Amino acid sequence: MNTSHCSICGLPKLSIAEYQMPQCNDCTKLKETATQSFIVDNPDAPMSDALYAGRMAMMARAHTAHRNAVDPRDFSATRGVIPKPPVR
């Protein structure tokens, strides 16, 4: 499916040629770099661990729709949701 935005980071893709790819070039390069650096650092590790390192790098870059939202658990009656009555 052609999309104009990256499915990982949510940023717009820079060229029309990227529309057919699920990720933008930056996300794809990040995954490949993380996988290759893991292989260089741990030559005896299985390939599944290297692929996991790539997925974790992508997850760190992932767009979260609620990232900028206020966490409702940060509020309670004792932290100022209910205004305190004036002291007389």
Q: What is the pLDDT of residues 32-60, one digit of tens each?
A: 999 999 999 999 999 999 999 999 998 88
Give the domain ranges of the chain. Answer: 24-63
| Residue 14, token pair as written in the block | 């820079």
Q: How far apart are CA 86 and CA 49, in angstroms?
A: 59
Q: How far apart are CA 44 and CA 79, in angstroms?
A: 52
Q: What is the pTM of this model?
A: 0.66
Q: How far apart are CA 74 and CA 67, in angstroms?
A: 14
Q: Which residues pair with 5 in a beta bridge?
A: 12
Is the pLDDT at 78 greater than 60, yes or no?
no
| Residue 1, token pair as written in the block | 């499916």
